[in-house]
Amino acid sequence: MKVANNFTLRVMREGKIVREETLGGNLPEMRAGDPSELADLRCVPSIKTGFCIYCGSTNQLSREHVVPYALGGTLTITEGSCEVCRKKTHEFETDVLTGPMRMVRYLQNLPSSTKHRSVPKTVELFVKLGEMQQQIELPIEKAPIFLDFYEFGEPKYLEAASRGTSLDVCSVVTGSYGQDPGHVISELSTKGMTIVGAPRRPVAFARMIAKIAYCFAFVQGHIRKLENPSELIDAFMENPNLIGRFVGSIPPPFVKYEGVSIRVAIKALASEGIAYAEVQLFAASGAPTYIVVLGRIRDGEVLS
């Protein structure tokens, strides 16, 4: 598919054009990863705790999903979250999983507790036909859907002598899902297209990534090997202004894992004695990989 030379994509937020670019320009570098190196999350057995994995309470426990059910997560911790903590995780996960993410979830046939009833049937676009700017609505199946991913700096925890806590958003990588924008352009014979974007929520996104990392490390039995896991729990549950200490991202080239939806791996920085997780959502489309520092490993413990 050839994209017209003068085709411009504008991303507009809160009534302002915040980015304007010519399609077909530089794409982020991408390399293929080998899916056979990954543990299949679907094959990891669920566990039962009988206490809240965040606060230790034994009151009103419910099943906790490691990866949100809405992203296709089936790995669970039975009786793993109390009602107070469930409400907190639900709040930041909902912030992330709505908006364009809701449409991508629908297009990728991911599960939905409301059977995708809240997904809009149409997507609003502003297109330029001749000299005229027109607002049109396309059925969701025929529209391009853009999903933003954040590139963060390094977790501040790893910066020697740094007590920094802020989450630095270095750039935004926009993933294109749904219909190929080039196809839509040629179908409509338009010269420009403006998409009304969703508000950005990098902190909620980082909290969700940290939660996935913590839950997965818990299931794998690694959390009890850490000196002070409550530091990380505190950052994603109670004090999101501390989340930049723990969450960062790996710079490009991005890695694409064919046929893999979500990738989580627990690793150690052996020289520093620090455990961390790699988390990648939409791994098949080569979305950025995030790192979550889990904490310092106790003397004498090993991760494997």
State yes or no: residue 52 binds Zn ion (CB under 5 A).
Answer: yes
Please, what sign has the CA dihedral across residues 79, 82, 87, 89?
A: negative
Nearest Cα residue to 248 out of 160, 170, 303, 147: 170
The dihedrals phi and psi of 139, each to the nearest 5 degrees, come to -60, 145
Q: Which CB sits closer to Zn ion, 57 or 174? A: 57
- For position 219 contacting Zn ion by CB under 5 A, the verdict is no
- Of 236, 144, 124, 233, residue with least CA distance to 185: 144
85 binds Zn ion (CB under 5 A): yes
Among 3, 44, 55, 136, binds Zn ion (CB under 5 A): 55
Using CB under 5 A as the binding rule, whether residue 54 contacts Zn ion is answered as: yes
49 part of the interface to Zn ion, by CB under 5 A:
no
Minimum Å distance from CB 210 to Zn ion?
16
CA 170 to chain centre: 16
Q: Does 82 bind Zn ion (CB under 5 A)?
A: yes
Interacting span for Zn ion (CB under 5 A) from 54-62, 166-174, 195-203, 216-224? 54-62
What mask of x and - would describe binding to Zn ion in positions 127 to 166, judged by CB under 5 A?
Answer: ----------------------------------------
Place of tokens 């896991």: 229
Note whether 268 binds Zn ion by CB under 5 A: no
Least CB distance from residue 85 to Zn ion, whole Å?
A: 3
Contact segment (CB under 5 A) with Zn ion among 57-65, 147-155, 232-240, 265-273 equals 57-65
The number of residues that bind Zn ion (CB under 5 A) is 6
Q: Give the shortest CB-66-to-Zn ion separation in angstroms.
A: 16
- Segment interacting with Zn ion, rule: CB under 5 A, options 3-11, 50-58, 149-157, 164-172: 50-58
Residue 236 within binding range of Zn ion, rule CB under 5 A: no
Q: Which is nearer to Zn ion, 61 or 255 (CB)?
A: 61
- Per rule CB under 5 A, is residue 57 in the interface with Zn ion? yes
The smaller minimum CB distance to Zn ion, of residues 55 and 198, is found at 55
- Judged by CB, which is closer to Zn ion: 106, or 216? 216
Could you tell me whether strands 16-22 and 30-32 are parallel, antiparallel, or unpaired per DSSP bridges?
Answer: unpaired
Candidates 17-25, 53-61, 100-108, 162-170: pick the segment binding Zn ion (CB under 5 A): 53-61
Task: Rule CB under 5 A: say whether 293 interacts with Zn ion.
Answer: no
Q: Which residues bind Zn ion (CB under 5 A)?
A: 52, 54-55, 57, 82, 85
